[in-house]
Chain A
């Protein structure tokens, strides 16, 4: 069963829609007593980093996730803000500490005036790096486009599997560190390729 962590940051509805379409069993909750039965987790999220991490803490989910992901090694997929929260810290809202499951920071796009617009909104391709080693990309062509909406991007600072997207700067748009998966883009909004990625994730053996 997939546990979708609903900590009040944006839209879980679109992920729910995809999981229904894929015929997956899932639960949407912010309560440990529901989520502890999950075999996989999805950490979605849209919005501010600072508020996201505060909400996870207030719900007692940071320690719970640490146990489930780092000790029990259950697979997790962080999406967008959910990806960023897995990192050590973010520039958004000053300097805010994240879950720290992945070493590195989340940075704001910084361009010379009028070079590229922020947020990075739209379809962009993912390629290079460890594209063919990342398990949830199985069956997806390199260079496929996914849907992005963000102003900050993750910058890992350890040796993990990464594939990249170019928006003024080349950043890691998908990563895998053992059982930890994350995408800066929204697979649930990326039509067929995104559905394939989510299907790969829910079919991962634990």
Chain B
């Protein structure tokens, strides 16, 4: 049976790994390759690396750092941030990425989703949807949460699925770094509307939040950062807890 994945997320800014609150107020965590090595050794199911300043600063992905991280990862590695065209994607796959995650480009250049999906298969393309509640409606934002799009999160999810996205990384801007739990309504709304896996992100603070994201939100995977850095929970304690609540986890 397929296991629920726990995916730590590395946010990269100014050559270090940071953690944000509501996409702002960054705290430094440490060196990217060290973080990647630690999560590999602790049997994280995958790793997501996001360069959160690249698009805002109109820079391309930092290939050198990404290549160094890829060397430490013997689990699937998803790379995002600053990806604008298929040349970037080709280069990222060459240096060791397994999946590409795009956010701003998915809205500004939706053809890129098709292009990546046709060339590498839909499993290789993840679209990250950053959602924020605006007048009671979950709207999709791009450019590091700075720019509101005309789309509802759930609309964008359906569009990118039809264009060939293989997974959705669903992030709640309101919950990011708050550690008060995932936005279960958001996850439920998107997860029930698409037939591709949804990874919940933003807000995990205690281990029960992982369980709720899966059982109530119907997420297929859970992504988190703060809980591993600031609470002292590890991938192993998280998996044990989730197993004890009846979820299928990878323990061997």
| Partner-B contacts on A (CB < 8 A) | 10-11, 13-14, 17-18, 21, 46-48, 113-114, 116-125, 141, 143-145, 147, 149-151, 166-167, 186, 188-195
A46 and B74 form a contact (CB under 8 A):
no
B43 contact set on A, CB distance < 8 A: 191
8 Å CB contacts to A: which residues of B16-65? 40, 43, 45
A194 contact set on B, CB distance < 8 A: 74
B166 contact set on A, CB distance < 8 A: 119, 121
A17-B74, A46-B123, A119-B123 given; 10 more Cβ-contact pairs under 8 Å: A21-B74, A46-B121, A119-B166, A121-B220, A124-B2, A125-B3, A149-B76, A166-B1, A190-B75, A193-B252
Q: Assess A145 versus B167: contact at CB under 8 Å? Given A11-B93, A121-B197.
A: no
Q: How far is the CB of A40 from chain B (nearest CB, A)?
A: 20
Complex: chain B residue closest to A148, CB-CB: B2
Complex: chain A residue closest to B74, CB-CB: A191
B70 contact set on A, CB distance < 8 A: 13-14, 17
Cα of A186 to Cα of B40 in the assembled complex, Å = 16
B3 contact set on A, CB distance < 8 A: 122-125, 145
Does B144 sit at the interface, judged by CB under 8 A? no
Does B142 sit at the interface, judged by CB under 8 A? no
Complex: chain B residue closest to A124, CB-CB: B2
B40 contact set on A, CB distance < 8 A: 191
8 Å CB contacts to A: which residues of B95-126? 95-98, 119-124
Does B5 sit at the interface, judged by CB under 8 A? yes
Q: How far is the CB of A121 from chain B (nearest CB, A)?
A: 6
Does B154 sit at the interface, judged by CB under 8 A? no
Does more than half of chain A's interface fall in helix, strand or loop, or is it mixed? Answer: mixed
A–B complex contacts, Cβ < 8 Å, 16 sampled: A13-B93, A14-B70, A46-B120, A47-B120, A47-B121, A117-B196, A119-B122, A121-B166, A122-B45, A122-B197, A124-B2, A143-B252, A151-B123, A190-B74, A191-B43, A191-B75
Q: How far is the CB of A92 from chain B (nearest CB, A)?
A: 10
B250 and A123 form a contact (CB under 8 A):
yes
Chain B 62-79 interface mask (CB, 8 Å, partner A; 1/0): 000000001100111000
Within 8 Å by CB of A114, from B95, B167, B195, lies: B195
A144 and B252 form a contact (CB under 8 A):
yes
Q: How far is the CB of B185 from chain A (nearest CB, A)?
A: 19
A11 contact set on B, CB distance < 8 A: 93-94, 96-98
A13 contact set on B, CB distance < 8 A: 70, 93-96
A17 contact set on B, CB distance < 8 A: 70-71, 74, 96
Cα of A190 to Cα of B1 in the assembled complex, Å = 16
Q: Which are the 7 A-B pairs with shortest beta-carbon distances?
A: A123-B250, A145-B250, A149-B123, A123-B3, A13-B96, A119-B123, A191-B74
| Residue among B70, B94, B98 with max Cβ neighbours from chain A (10 Å) | B98
A141 and B122 form a contact (CB under 8 A):
no
Complex: chain A residue closest to B1, CB-CB: A166
Within 8 Å by CB of A48, from B1, B95, B121, B196, lies: B121
Does B221 sit at the interface, judged by CB under 8 A? yes
A147 and B76 form a contact (CB under 8 A):
yes
